[in-house]
Amino acid sequence: MMQFFHKIQGHWMAKILSLLGAILLWFFVMKEQNPIVDINYTVPVQVQNLNSQYVVDNIPSEVHVHLRGPRNSILAINQSALKAHLDMGDVSPGQQSLPILFTPPAGITVVSMTPDTVNVNVDEYMLKEVPVEVQQLGKVPDDIAIKSVNTVPKVVTISGAKQEVDSVAHVILRIKMNDRRSNFTASGMMVAVDGAGKTVDNVTITPRQGQAQIELEQIRFEKNLPVVANVTGSLGNEYAIKSITVEPQQVLVSGKEGDIKNLSEIRTVDIPLNGQIANLEGDYDVVAGDTYAVTPTKVHVIVEIVKKYLGDTNAKNN
């Protein structure tokens, strides 16, 4: 009887050993057929549970994850479904260090994640209205002036972190002015600046685009006018003026339209002829008004004086 039991026990032991061997062989085969492999992914970072009254900056847009798992599981990963996130449920204003959270697919382990923590700045969300100002790039010609500037809109809304929004003094719309001679309208993207004129980047401007309506006026008109020698006084009874020559005969007059449009001539300073019995020649200033300029400022005048003869009709007394 005892021999029988020993015989059965020996059979069971052999069977158990065979089973263990089969299991070990199965694991070996499976490991060879579906080995453990590594893979790296770039994963976007999402923000969760952030209070609507807060804004956060310095958040990374993505992290790099190193994953490990069976090849079949690795191949089954849907990369678009991989997401990391920051839980903002317990944050308050100020700088804080937060862990970046990532849950791998089933059967996969995370070897490493870079970065795995981040220092974020939390601030209160703020809105305020600021005026729009035009910043001129270049300049209009010297004879043109800016009569008026109108912006659309006149004010914009600035939003973002309280600290950044507080620093904004106004919004500028940059407009090129070079060689402009007539009224025009120009559009462009607006830029927020602080009191020192430095750009403030981390704010939102609503609306983002503005328009400037610029009205120009011509402040200097030009026209050529004849020059008249302004001779004064009287010659003796025996002498007369035969001719008066002025060189150049015309001068360029420039000034505001209202100041020069009614001018028909420009006169020299007084040229006295009292007691003159011979020709008079010299350079004389031309008379300019307070509101307009004359070019050149001097002219050359020759007054030809002759002695009268009976029947001389060309000579004249002044």
H or E, element range at 71: helix 71-75
**Closest to 16 measured CA to CA, from 8, 27, 3:** 8
DSSP per position, 242-306: EEEEEESSEEEEEE-HHHHTT---EEEEEEE-TT--S-EEEEEEBP--TTEEEESSEEEEEEEEE
**Closest to 209 measured CA to CA, from 184, 176, 177, 186:** 186
Interval 110-139: pLDDT, tens: 999 999 999 999 999 999 999 999 999 998
DSSP per position, 162-174: HHHHHH--EEEEE
H or E, element range at 53: none
Interval 272-306: pLDDT, tens: 998 888 899 999 999 988 888 899 999 999 999 99
pLDDT number for residue 259:
85
309: Cβ contacts below 8 Å, ≥ 6 apart = none
The CB density around residue 225, as the number of other CB atoms within 10 Å, is: 16
Confidence band of 3 (pLDDT split at 50, 70, 90): low
Whether 211 and 298 have beta carbons less than 8 Å apart is answered as no
Q: Tell me the CB-side half-sphere exposure of residue 42, using CA atoms within 13 A.
A: 3
| Interstrand relation of 117-137 and 155-161 (parallel, antiparallel or unpaired) | antiparallel
Q: Does position 10 have pLDDT exceeding 70, yes or no?
A: no
Interval 191-219: pLDDT, tens: 999 999 999 998 999 999 999 999 998 88
pLDDT number for residue 29:
47
pTM of the model: 0.54
Whether 252 and 294 have beta carbons less than 8 Å apart is answered as yes
Find the Cα–Cα–Cα–Cα dihedral 287, 288, 289, 295, rounded to 10°: 160
List residues bridging with 65 in a β-sheet.
41, 113
pLDDT number for residue 23:
59
List of domains in the chain:
36-115 (2.170.120.30), 124-218 (2.170.120.40), 221-307 (2.170.120.40)
Taking residues 66-73, report their average pLDDT.
95
Q: Which residue has the higher pLDDT, 182 or 256?
A: 182
Taking residues 47-53, report their average pLDDT.
91
pLDDT number for residue 225:
95
